[in-house]
Amino acid sequence: MSTTSPAPRHTEAARSEIPPGFAALIGILAVGAAVGAGELVAALISPASSPVLAVGNAVINYSPEPLTEFAKSHFGTNDKPILLSGMAVVIVVVAAAAGLASRRHPRPGVVTVVVLGLAGLLAVVAATVFSPLDVIAPLLSLGVGLVVFRLLHGLALRTYRPLPVGGEPTTEPPGGSRDGAGRVSRRDVLLGSSAAIGVVSLGSGVGGLLLANSGSSSRNAVTAALAMATLAERAPAIPAGASFAELGTPTFITANPDFYRIDVALRIPTQTASDWRLRIHGMVDKETTLTFADLMSRPLVERTITLTCVSNPVGGNLISTANFIGVELRPILLEAGIQPGAQQLFTTSIDGWNTSTPTDVVLEPDRGALLAIGMNGEALPPEHGFPVRMIVPGLFGYVSGTKWLSDMEITTFGAQRGYWYRRGWSEQAPIKTESRIDRPLAGTSVPGGRLTCAGIAWSQPTGIQGVEVRIDGGPWQAAQLSTEVNGRTWRMWRTDFDVGPGNHTVQTRATNHDGAVQTQTTADPIPNGASGWPATTFTAV
């Protein structure tokens, strides 16, 4: 602050007025810097945390269906670039308006930057894919927006301070470029910082987009390659009678965004398909390193498989089904030559997670274990293991489903211990024969009279032969089963009861194709999976 001015500070500040063009530019620069920083940090930490893309996704998700249909039918695959350009226009207009409204006081601009920043944060947190580290990009973006706005706004207010009334000209005439001593004027500082901030924001925004795109363009390329590929084995079409979705069971195939997700990855690994390598070593005759191209050149098979998590409580929903595309793991191991005495495949993910899978299970000729690269017609989604994961039907995910696969050591059980085994879970864990009641829902009221109950049952890789249902401890009655797809997947059941008014409890027990009946013995998920007959209590009115 100049000390030569005789005018009190507050009048001075109140009289300062930033020219409209420059005020608008400050708004745009502040918001632009926020967007640029957000994109760059998101690309470095987690592509899912881009505040701009998260807001875009939220716009798509919360748009009324007719609007998204209109956009798809009129703009086709261009609907996303058009949405993003639209958002860019809105953001620039809002930022300029906020700048214009702040010609004297910073408050409108500060409020706008905070509101936009919070919108980005909210959209990231509410997204279907969210990990705790995802808050960094939107928070940092908000911070950068605020700092840049306050900085430029303060500089501009001081630069465009009018001459004190009746005072002598200051040593620094507004608009002048240098004072008598040849020092750089405030205006030069202002213009210089504006230009620098503009260039840095643009650079980080573009850099962030390019970085993020290298990941998604790798995924798109794999999706396109899978669409072109001739599959050696296609999953048979799912018959119409394979689920009772209209009665409350899940659909037979779980859409990728709805597929349950379990992992310990704070940050989703972002390796491209071309950078991917799998080293197979240890007790093998021939150590091998596979590339993604190696996988693509092998016969590709598509299999409908139900994946299950050991942490699923009785009645829980950590179970989903997809058409996985991949290559058979067994022939790869046979080519490498598994040595006698080998007991486990110790697999490690790009992010360091690891687990043990029994060698004899993976080598069973009919097991159908895969190195999976596709899921429901597209490349694996990032959160489900892109570019490559392991899938072994009949084993819980934690002892077989290594996502972001990068290393496979063939060894003995004693030599290596997996992430969850070291934390008290079993070293080996086949999936148990289980069932779940989806309708009626526990604690709900239903009209008395004829009542339809429905749910799911599973016993991979054997498959379900029967489900029995009873009400209020009465006789077990055989449920009607959905059309069987294969033993590696769940099967739905349904049955009807007549219910009078009052509280009732439904229970189920499943039997697999080997005749094994779901155990009544209750067990917690730890160490090797929950068990017990599910029971649902509801009220008929």
**Which stretches of the chain bind Mo ion, using CB under 5 A?**
262, 309, 397-398
CB of 261 to ligand MTE, least distance (A): 4
Pick from 219, 403, 439, 470 the residue near ligand MTE by CB under 6 A: 403
Residue nearer to ligand MTE on the CB measure, 389 or 439: 389
Question: What is the rounded distance in angstroms from the CA atom of residue 254 to the CA atom of residue 123?
Answer: 24
**Phi first, then psi: what are they for 15, rounded to 5°?**
-80, -20
CB of 253 to ligand MTE, least distance (A): 14
CB of 21 to Mo ion, least distance (A): 58
Interface with ligand MTE includes 130 (CB under 6 A)?
no
Question: What is the rounded distance in angstroms from the CA atom of residue 486 to the CA atom of residue 466?
Answer: 14
Residue nearer to ligand MTE on the CB measure, 349 or 462: 349
Interface with ligand MTE includes 398 (CB under 6 A)?
yes
CB of 354 to Mo ion, least distance (A): 14
Residue nearer to ligand MTE on the CB measure, 38 or 269: 269
CB of 34 to ligand MTE, least distance (A): 32
Residue nearer to ligand MTE on the CB measure, 160 or 259: 259
Helical (H) or strand (E) element with 332: helix 329-336
Of 498, 496, 487, nearest to 463 (Cα)? 487
What value, to the nearest 5°, has the Cα angle with vertex 266 and ends 262 and 270?
95
Of 355, 367, 329, nearest to 460 (Cα)? 367
Interface with ligand MTE includes 421 (CB under 6 A)?
no
CB of 420 to Mo ion, least distance (A): 8
Helical (H) or strand (E) element with 510: strand 502-512
Question: Is the distance from CB of 22 to CB of 159 less than 8 angstroms?
Answer: no
- Provide the mask over 307-346, with x wherever binding to ligand MTE is found by CB under 6 A and - wherever it is not: x-x-------------------------------------
Residue nearer to ligand MTE on the CB measure, 185 or 354: 354
Residue nearer to Mo ion on the CB measure, 346 or 425: 425
Q: Residue 402 binds what, of ligand MTE, Mo ion, none (CB under 5 to 8 Å, by partner type)?
A: ligand MTE
Contacting residues for 284 by C-beta, under 8 A, at least 6 apart: 333, 336, 337, 338, 339, 342, 410
Interface with ligand MTE includes 432 (CB under 6 A)?
no
Question: What is the rounded distance in angstroms from the CA atom of residue 88 to the CA atom of residue 176?
Answer: 35
Pick from 18, 40, 265, 471 the residue near ligand MTE by CB under 6 A: 265
Interface with ligand MTE includes 263 (CB under 6 A)?
yes
Residue 100, token pair as written in the block: 């214009």
Question: What is the rounded distance in angstroms from the CA atom of residue 310 to the CA atom of residue 430?
Answer: 9
The end-to-end CA distance of the chain, in Å, is 77
Q: Residue 153 binds what, of Mo ion, ligand MTE, none (CB under 5 to 8 Å, by partner type)?
A: none
Of 330, 188, 320, 160, nearest to 254 (Cα)? 320
Interface positions with ligand MTE (CB under 6 A): 259-265, 307, 309, 349, 351, 353, 384, 397-398, 401-404
